[in-house]
């Protein structure tokens, strides 16, 4: 099915490889910083704008919310709760005593202008987008809050590439296409920034991005052979799998946080209409138990106007609804982390953001008030488990054990130290400062398995050396687990001196011993 969407361009993640160099010596960890890039080049094509011509007819009042949404399946909960463009009799919102006028606006500039002017009280955005708009809201004197997340992308968005460029380390020479100023652009930047590439190479990649108006245009250019890598969405991800020498290197089934959708409210209006906002949040959560209102979806979103129920179901499967428990965790932890990461990215791309907005943006007032209606406090703190079959675990273990060249999407290196001939960190605090970057990555890529493979620097392979490499990898794994990373995701192995011997045989032996005293951390995609 054709998927029409302009402002939500990228929704994305897969298998990722990070190398943590665990060295004997002084800590030399690379702390991720903001890489500055040149100003943007002119766009290859300009985005078009769609605004619904159906004027909502609910009368304005204290119980009325004028809301803008773009065309994305994840907003179906809002449509179902409302029953259509306007609140229909018997709908969830109607039962709660509020009215919602849905305006379909596929352009973030227009929707943000309407929110600033007061024509809208609320608008649907990703965390990525709010970071981009943060300074605009600040400059206009508009305070905003984001009290609920409705959904996160689940496999609907990703990055496709020719097999030659399936590893981010090869992207320096690739033609990479992205929809400009989109979530997709931030995803590419996120992976580049978290790689082990030099700052110069990172800047080269980002400065040479080829900009398109939409993710559809980006995908079409990819399949026409005009670019090597494309950030896009379904159905192009599936299509890429059918092409020779083409692969999906990343999709959002591997991350529930890189593309999350929520509702932004005018903070001053929300403060004056707390009960209305509370009922809106409540209605969204209640809608998850309701069947999809297919007719309402076809009325509201032109992309669904001729779609069958099955077609709508297929696109809806690309999003996961955010429950009360999800919102509790997102608002208190995940969203601030992602917002700060997106601020890093937008600043690197030359945009001005308001970092301080993170202190007030994610308002938990309304979720907290609904605690007794939806979830217990204890359940809210439960760890999300990654489901992995014994077969999957065995296959991944077999793939990486003793193999220094297994497929990866991203690589990153940091240095920590151990007491000689032991697996004890020389300095726990120094090790923590290095490994916390990897904790953030592991939390972001929460739908992946994490393979931790140890290495040592030695001329001779011995049983002691192999076991030492395993033990050091286990120490790193233990630290990740202590920071909230589910042990169910961790596979620990060790290669002894295999990396050292491989470079020695190839005549590329490095003079830096830390290269061969490393622990490789790989984030592996789980096939569903």
In which residue are the tokens 């002084």 written? 26
Phi, psi angle pair for 310, to nearest 5°? -65, -40
Check which CATH number belongs to the domain holding 490 and give it.
3.30.1330.60
Question: Does the residue 142 lie in any domain?
Answer: yes
Question: Does the residue 54 lie in any domain?
Answer: no
How would residue 52 be classed by pLDDT, with cut points 50, 70 and 90? very low
Question: Does the residue 35 lie in any domain?
Answer: no
CA angle 217, 314, 104 (to 5 degrees): 60
For residues 361 and 425, state if they share a domain: no
Check which CATH number belongs to the domain holding 286 and give it.
3.40.190.10
pLDDT higher for 480 or 411?
480
Say which DSSP state 40 is in: P
Question: Does the residue 214 lie in any domain?
Answer: no
Q: Give the residue among 407, 387, 446, 418 at the shortest CA–CA distance from 517.
A: 418
For residues 261 and 135, state if they share a domain: yes
* 519 membership: H or E segment, kind and range: strand 519-525
For residues 293 and 352, state if they share a domain: yes
How would residue 40 be classed by pLDDT, with cut points 50, 70 and 90? very low
Question: Does the residue 19 lie in any domain?
Answer: no
In which residue are the tokens 């959560």 written? 285
Cβ pair 253, 341 in contact under 8 A: no
**Rounded Cα distance, 123 and 104, in Å:** 10
- The pLDDT of residue 2: 28
pLDDT higher for 214 or 478?
478
Q: Please report how the helices 428-444 and 335-348 are oriented relative to each other, as an axis angle in degrees rounded to 10.
A: 90
Question: Does the residue 338 lie in any domain?
Answer: no
For residues 403 and 289, state if they share a domain: no
For residues 403 and 488, state if they share a domain: yes
Digit-coded pLDDT (tens) for 72-102: 999 999 999 999 999 999 999 999 999 999 9
In which residue are the tokens 């001196």 written? 497
Question: Does the residue 457 lie in any domain?
Answer: yes
Q: Please report how the helices 199-207 and 183-193 are oriented relative to each other, as an axis angle in degrees rounded to 10.
A: 160
Question: Does the residue 332 lie in any domain?
Answer: no
24's tokens: 């004997």
pLDDT for residue 383 is more than 70: no
For residues 504 and 415, state if they share a domain: yes
For residues 314 and 460, state if they share a domain: no
Whether omega for the bond prior to residue 503 falls within 30 degrees of 0, making it cis, is no
Residues 6+ apart with CB under 8 A from 145: 264, 265, 267, 270, 360, 361, 362, 363
How does DSSP assign 249-291, residue by residue?
A: EEEGGG-SSSSEEEEEEEHHHHHHTHHHHHHHHHHHHHHTTSP
Query: Residue 116, CB half-sphere, CA atoms under 13 Å: how many?
Result: 16
For residues 358 and 426, state if they share a domain: no
Say which DSSP state 418 is in: B
Q: How many domains, the chain?
A: 2
User: Could you give the C-alpha distances from 405 to 136, 180, 423, 473, in angstroms and in order?
Assistant: 46, 34, 25, 18
269's tokens: 């209006």
For residues 517 and 395, state if they share a domain: yes
For residues 282 and 140, state if they share a domain: yes
Task: Please provide the average confidence, as pLDDT, over all residues in the chain.
Answer: 84
For residues 403 and 442, state if they share a domain: yes
Digit-coded pLDDT (tens) for 292-328: 999 999 999 998 999 999 999 998 998 999 999 999 9
Percent of the chain topping pLDDT 70: 85
| Structural domain boundaries, residue 406 | 390-525
Alpha-carbon torsion 413, 419, 423, 427, what sign?
A: negative
For residues 371 and 408, state if they share a domain: no
Digit-coded pLDDT (tens) for 97-132: 999 999 999 989 999 999 999 999 999 999 999 999
Q: Give the residue among 360, 368, 367, 366 at the shortest CA–CA distance from 143.
A: 360
């Amino acid at each position: 099915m054709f998927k029409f969407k302009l402002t939500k361009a990228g929704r994305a993640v897969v298998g990722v490889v990070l190398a943590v160099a665990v060295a004997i010596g002084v800590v030399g960890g690379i702390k991720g910083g903001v890489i500055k890039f040149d100003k943007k080049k002119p766009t290859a094509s300009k985005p078009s704008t769609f605004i619904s011509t159906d004027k909502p007819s609910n009368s304005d009042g204290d119980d009325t919310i004028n809301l803008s949404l773009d065309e994305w399946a994840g907003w179906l909960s809002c449509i179902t709760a409302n029953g259509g463009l306007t609140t229909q009799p018997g709908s969830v919102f109607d039962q709660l005593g509020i009215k919602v006028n849905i305006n379909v606006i596929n352009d973030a500039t227009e929707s943000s202008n309407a929110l600033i002017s007061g024509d809208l009280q609320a608008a649907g955005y990703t965390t990525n987008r709010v970071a981009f708009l943060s300074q605009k809201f600040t400059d206009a004197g508009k305070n905003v809050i984001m009290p609920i997340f409705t959904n996160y992308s689940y496999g609907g968005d990703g990055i496709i590439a020719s097999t030659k460029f399936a590893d981010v380390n090869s992207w320096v020479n690739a033609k990479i296409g992205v929809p400009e100023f989109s979530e997709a652009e931030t995803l590419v930047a996120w992976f580049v920034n978290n790689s082990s590439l030099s700052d110069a190479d990172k800047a080269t990649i980002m400065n040479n991005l080829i900009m398109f108006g939409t993710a559809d245009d980006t995908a079409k250019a990819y399949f026409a052979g005009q670019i090597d890598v494309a950030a896009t969405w379904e159905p192009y991800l599936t299509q890429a799998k059918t092409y020779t020498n083409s692969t999906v290197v990343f999709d959002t089934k591997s991350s529930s946080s890189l593309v999350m959708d929520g509702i932004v409210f005018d903070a001053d209006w929300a403060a004056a209409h707390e009960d209305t906002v509370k009922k809106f949040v409540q209605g969204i959560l209640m809608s998850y138990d309701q069947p999809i209102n297919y007719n309402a979806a076809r009325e509201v979103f032109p992309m669904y106007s001729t779609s069958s129920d099955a077609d709508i179901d297929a696109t809806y499967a690309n999003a996961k609804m955010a429950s009360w428990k999800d919102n509790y965790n997102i608002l208190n932890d995940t969203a601030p982390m992602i917002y700060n990461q997106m601020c890093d990215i937008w600043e690197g791309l030359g945009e001005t953001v308001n970092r301080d907005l993170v202190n007030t943006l994610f308002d938990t007032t309304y979720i907290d008030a609904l605690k007794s209606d939806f979830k217990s406090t204890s359940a809210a703190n439960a760890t999300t488990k990654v489901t992995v079959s014994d077969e999957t675990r065995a296959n991944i273990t077999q793939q990486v054990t003793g193999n220094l060249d297994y497929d990866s999407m991203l690589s990153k290196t940091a240095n920590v130290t151990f007491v000689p001939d032991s697996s004890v960190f020389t300095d726990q605090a120094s090790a923590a400062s290095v490994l916390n970057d990897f904790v953030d990555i592991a939390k972001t890529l929460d739908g992946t398995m994490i393979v931790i493979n140890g290495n040592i620097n030695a001329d001779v392979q011995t049983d002691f050396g192999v076991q030492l490499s395993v033990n050091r990898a286990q120490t790193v794994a233990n630290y990740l687990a202590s920071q909230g990373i589910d042990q169910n995701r961790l596979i620990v192995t060790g290669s002894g001196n295999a990396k050292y011997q491989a470079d020695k045989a190839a005549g590329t032996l490095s003079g830096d011993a830390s290269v061969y005293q490393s622990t490789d951390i790989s984030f592996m995609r789980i096939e569903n």
